[in-house]
C-alpha cells in the first residue's frame, strides 16, 4: 500500500510473527559416544543412532558420504557438526564436519516471475535476509508473454535453452551475492523457488505444451526434491532444491507461496488475497476453505496498457493530487526524476483525484462544462495533461486520454466484479472480509483510499487493507525458515477450489455497472463523497 502508510516490507519484517524458526536445513553439534568392545556399532550407524536420539529420524545418508563420515567422526574424536536437510519423509545428512563448526548455514529463496526473478539470500540460523537481488527474466527475448515462450518451448532444444537461461541467471546471481557478502556459495544448503506453473516447468526443463491446451494438464503438479548437483547450481551439491507445487495449470506455486505469505490459511477470519499481474488472481477463504479465481483485470492496473503507463520504477509518477478548487495538480516521481509516465498507483490516484475534482464524470468522461487548461484535444481524442513538456523526461506533454481512462475503468470494473462473484460463489459478503491483502509491487504502492474512490476495491475500513510486496519471494523465504509450511502447502492444495469465470449475461451486467465512478450503485461506496460537478456533468 501507500509508501507512507504501509512501508515496503524490508529484511526485518519479511518473516511474520507467527512463523516458527524450524528451518528446512539445520545444523547440530553432537558428541557421539565413542565405540568400545561393549558397544561396537559401526561409525555411520553410531552417528545415525545419536541423531535419532536427538529427534532426527529417519536419517538418510548418501552412499558416497559413508567413508567421509567415518573419517570425520574419528578426526573430531567423535564430536561432529552435522547439517541436515528436511525432505518431508526423512532427513538428509548433508554435511559432517569434525568438531564444532561456525560456518553459516544459508538458504536462497527465489520468486521465479515471468518478467522478473527476485532472489533472497537467507541466513537460516540468524533468521535474517542477508541480501536480495532482482533480475529481469532472461527468457524475455524469447517471448514477453508466457504463451509465446510455451510455443517456442515445444522443441526440446528450445526448452533446454530456456532452462539454461534461468539456471545461468541463478548461478550468476548466487555467485555475485555470495561474493559481495564474503560468503561461500557452498554454504547454501537449500533453495526454495516459487513460480507459476509454466515457469516452474521451464526451470525443470519440463514440456509445458499441454499447459495451454484443453484440458490444460501440466507434466507435474508436485515436484520431487532435487539436489543442487541435479541442476548444476552454485550451491552445496547435495543441498535441497524445492520447487513449489502447483494446483493446476492456472494456479501455480507463486500463488501457493502468496497464500502462505498472508497466513490466511491458518486463520479463522475471512481473508482475501489479490495478486495483480498479467491477470488479477484472487483467493478468498480462511483455515477451513479457500476459493480462487483469475480474470483479465491486470495490465492496465499495473500501468501496462495505458499509452503513457509504465511499471513502478524510476521516472514513474506514483502519486497525484489535484486541488478541487484551483484544479492545481501535484505529482510525485519515483527516484525524484523528471517523469516518464505513470505507474499503476499514479494512474489510480490520477483518476480518483480527477473524479473528486469533478474533472471526470461518473461515467469516466472529461467534464466539458469545466474550464481547465489541462484538458486538451489529441490525436487519440480528448485528454488530460498530467505534466507539461518542460517538466517531463522527453520534453513532451504527458497526456492521459479519455481512451486510456476508459481502459483503466474497464480493468477496475473487472477487478471489482471478480471480487463480487467469488464472494457470492461461497455466499459471503465482501463486508465480511477481515483482511484484504494486495500482493506485488502494485500492492505496496497503491493507496486504498484512492482505489476505493474509483470503485476498484470494496469500501472496507482502511485497516483491512495490507500490502504484502513480493508474496512469491516472501512465501519461498518463509518455507526456508519454517519447514512446517510444507504441510501447510499440502493442506492448501487439497483445500483450494479453483473456479472458472464464465462470461455470461449476469457478469456482463455487473461489469457494466462497475465501470462507473465509483459504481452505478453509489450505496456500495458510502465513504466516497461524489462531487456534484461529476454527477451534474453526465
Among 79, 210, 378, 466, binds a copy of itself (CB under 8 A): 210
* Long-range contacts, 221-226 (Cβ 8 Å, 24+): 221/245, 221/246, 221/247, 221/248, 221/493, 225/87, 225/88
Per CB under 8 A, does 66 bind a copy of itself? Answer: yes
Subset of 32-61 contacting a copy of itself (CB under 8 A) = 35-37, 40-45, 58, 60-61
Among 8, 62, 307, 490, binds a copy of itself (CB under 8 A): 62
Residue whose CB is less far from a copy of itself, 160 or 512: 160
Q: Contact letters (x/-) for a copy of itself, 277-316, by CB under 8 A?
A: ----------------------------------------
Per CB under 8 A, does 90 bind a copy of itself? Answer: yes
Q: How far is the CB of 89 from a copy of itself (least distance, A)?
A: 6
What's the distance, CA 428 to chain centroid?
26
Q: How far is the CB of 384 from a copy of itself (least distance, A)?
A: 45
Q: How far is the CB of 90 from a copy of itself (least distance, A)?
A: 7
Per CB under 8 A, does 220 bind a copy of itself? Answer: yes
Per CB under 8 A, does 95 bind a copy of itself? Answer: no
Q: Are 427 and 299 contacting, i.e. CB atoms less than 8 angstroms apart?
A: no
Per CB under 8 A, does 507 bind a copy of itself? Answer: no
Binding region for a copy of itself (CB under 8 A) out of 65-73, 308-316, 381-389, 502-510: 65-73
Beta bridge mates, 128? 123
Largest CA distance in the chain: 101
Q: How far is the CB of 215 from a copy of itself (least distance, A)?
A: 5
Per CB under 8 A, does 63 bind a copy of itself? Answer: yes
Per CB under 8 A, does 221 bind a copy of itself? Answer: yes
Planar angle of CA 58, 59, 65, nearest 5 degrees: 155
Per CB under 8 A, does 230 bind a copy of itself? Answer: yes
> b/e for 374-405, b at 16 or more Cβ within 10 A?
bbeebeeebbbbbbeeeebeeeebbbbbbebb
Burial of 425 (0-12, 13-18, 19+ CB in 10 A): middle
Per CB under 8 A, does 506 bind a copy of itself? Answer: no
**3-class secondary structure for 278-295?**
CCEEEEEECCCCEEEEEE
Cell of 130: 542477508
Q: How far is the CB of 427 from a copy of itself (least distance, A)?
A: 23
What is the spatial order of strands in the sheet that 381-387 belongs to? 375-378, 381-387, 398-401
Per CB under 8 A, does 71 bind a copy of itself? Answer: yes
Q: How far is the CB of 497 from a copy of itself (least distance, A)?
A: 13
Subset of 149-188 contacting a copy of itself (CB under 8 A) = none
Residue whose CB is less far from a copy of itself, 163 or 361: 163
The string of DSSP letters for 387-403 reads E-GGGSSSSS-EEEEHH
Residue whose CB is less far from a copy of itself, 90 or 171: 90
* Alpha carbons 374 and 4: distance in angstroms, whole number: 28
Per CB under 8 A, does 77 bind a copy of itself? Answer: no
Beta bridge mates, 31? 79
From residue 357, give the alpha-carbon distance in Å to each of 253, 321, 325, 342, 471.
43, 10, 7, 19, 35
Q: How far is the CB of 414 from a copy of itself (least distance, A)?
A: 23
Per CB under 8 A, does 379 bind a copy of itself? Answer: no
Please provide the size of the chain in residues: 538
Angle at which helices 402-425 and 344-356 cross, to 10°:
100
Per CB under 8 A, does 215 bind a copy of itself? Answer: yes
Binding region for a copy of itself (CB under 8 A) out of 5-13, 175-183, 215-223, 363-371: 215-223
- Any alpha helices (H) in 324-445, and if so which ranges? 344-356, 402-425, 440-445
Residue whose CB is less far from a copy of itself, 223 or 416: 223
Site for a copy of itself, rule CB under 8 A: 35-37, 40-45, 58, 60-64, 66-67, 69-71, 89-90, 204-207, 210, 214-224, 226, 230, 246, 248-249
Amino acid at each position: 500500500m501507500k509508501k507512507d502508510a504501509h512501508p515496503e516490507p524490508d529484511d526485518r519484517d519479511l518473516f511474520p510473527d507467527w512463523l516458527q524458526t524450524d528451518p528446512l536445513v539445520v545444523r547440530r553439534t553432537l558428541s557421539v559416544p565413542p565405540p568400545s568392545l561393549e558397544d561396537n556399532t559401526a561409525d555411520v550407524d553410531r552417528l545415525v543412532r545419536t541423531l535419532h536420539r536427538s529427534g532426527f529420524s529417519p536419517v538418510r545418508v548418501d552412499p558416497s558420504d559413508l567413508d567421509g563420515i567415518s573419517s570425520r567422526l574419528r578426526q573430531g574424536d567423535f564430536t561432529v557438526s552435522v547439517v541436515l536437510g528436511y525432505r518431508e519423509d526423512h532427513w538428509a545428512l548433508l554435511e559432517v564436519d569434525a568438531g564444532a563448526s561456525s560456518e553459516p548455514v544459508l538458504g536462497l529463496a527465489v520468486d521465479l516471475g515471468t518478467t522478473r526473478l527476485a532472489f533472497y539470500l537467507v541466513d537460516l540460523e540468524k533468521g535474517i535476509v542477508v541480501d536480495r537481488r532482482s533480475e529481469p527474466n532472461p527468457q524475455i527475448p524469447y517471448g514477453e508473454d508466457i504463451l509465446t515462450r510455451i510455443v517456442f518451448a515445444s522443441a526440446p532444444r528450445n526448452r533446454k535453452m530456456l532452462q539454461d537461461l534461468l539456471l545461468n541467471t541463478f548461478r550468476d546471481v548466487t555467485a555475485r551475492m555470495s561474493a559481495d557478502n564474503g560468503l561461500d556459495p557452498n554454504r547454501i544448503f537449500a533453495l526454495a523457488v516459487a513460480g507459476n506453473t509454466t515457469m516452474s516447468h521451464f526451470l525443470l526443463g519440463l514440456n509445458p505444451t499441454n499447459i495451454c491446451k484443453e484440458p490444460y494438464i501440466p507434466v507435474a503438479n508436485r515436484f520431487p526434491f532435487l539436489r543442487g548437483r541435479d541442476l548444476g547450481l552454485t550451491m552445496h551439491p547435495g543441498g535441497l532444491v524445492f520447487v513449489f507445487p502447483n494446483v493446476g495449470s492456472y494456479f501455480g506455486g507463486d500463488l501457493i507461496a502468496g497464500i502462505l505469505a498472508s497466513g490466511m490459511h491458518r486463520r479463522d477470519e475471512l481473508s482475501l488475497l489479490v495478486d495483480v499481474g498479467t491477470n488479477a488472481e484472487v483467493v478468498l477463504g480462511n483455515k477451513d476453505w479457500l476459493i480462487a479465481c483469475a480474470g483479465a483485470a491486470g495490465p492496465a492496473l499495473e500501468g501496462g496498457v495505458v499509452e503513457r503507463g509504465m511499471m513502478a520504477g524510476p521516472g514513474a509518477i506514483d502519486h497525484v493530487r489535484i486541488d478541487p478548487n484551483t484544479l492545481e495538480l501535484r505529482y510525485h516521481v519515483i527516484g525524484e526524476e523528471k517523469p516518464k509516465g505513470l505507474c499503476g498507483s499514479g494512474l489510480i490516484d490520477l483518476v480518483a483525484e480527477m473524479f473528486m475534482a469533478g474533472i471526470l464524470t461518473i461515467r469516466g468522461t472529461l467534464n466539458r462544462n469545466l474550464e481547465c487548461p489541462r484538458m486538451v484535444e489529441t490525436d487519440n481524442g480528448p485528454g488530460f495533461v498530467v505534466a507539461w513538456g518542460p517538466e517531463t523526461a522527453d520534453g513532451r506533454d504527458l497526456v492521459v486520454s479519455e481512451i486510456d481512462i476508459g481502459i483503466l475503468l474497464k480493468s477496475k470494473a473487472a477487478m471489482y466484479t471478480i471480487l463480487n462473484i467469488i464472494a457470492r460463489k461461497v455466499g459471503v459478503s465482501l463486508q465480511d472480509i477481515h483482511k484484504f491483502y494486495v500482493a506485488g509491487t502494485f500492492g505496496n504502492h497503491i493507496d486504498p483510499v484512492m482505489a476505493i474512490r474509483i470503485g476498484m476495491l470494496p469500501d472496507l475500513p482502511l485497516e483491512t487493507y495490507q500490502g504484502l510486496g513480493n508474496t512469491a519471494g516472501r512465501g519461498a523465504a518463509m518455507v526456508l525458515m519454517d519447514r512446517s509450511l510444507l504441510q501447510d502447502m499440502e493442506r492448501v492444495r487439497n483445500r483450494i477450489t479453483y473456479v472458472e469465470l464464465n462470461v455470461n449475461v449476469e457478469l456482463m451486467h455487473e461489469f457494466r455497472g462497475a465501470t462507473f465512478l465509483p459504481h452505478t450503485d453509489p450505496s456500495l461506496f458510502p465513504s466516497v463523497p461524489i462531487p456534484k460537478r461529476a454527477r451534474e456533468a453526465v
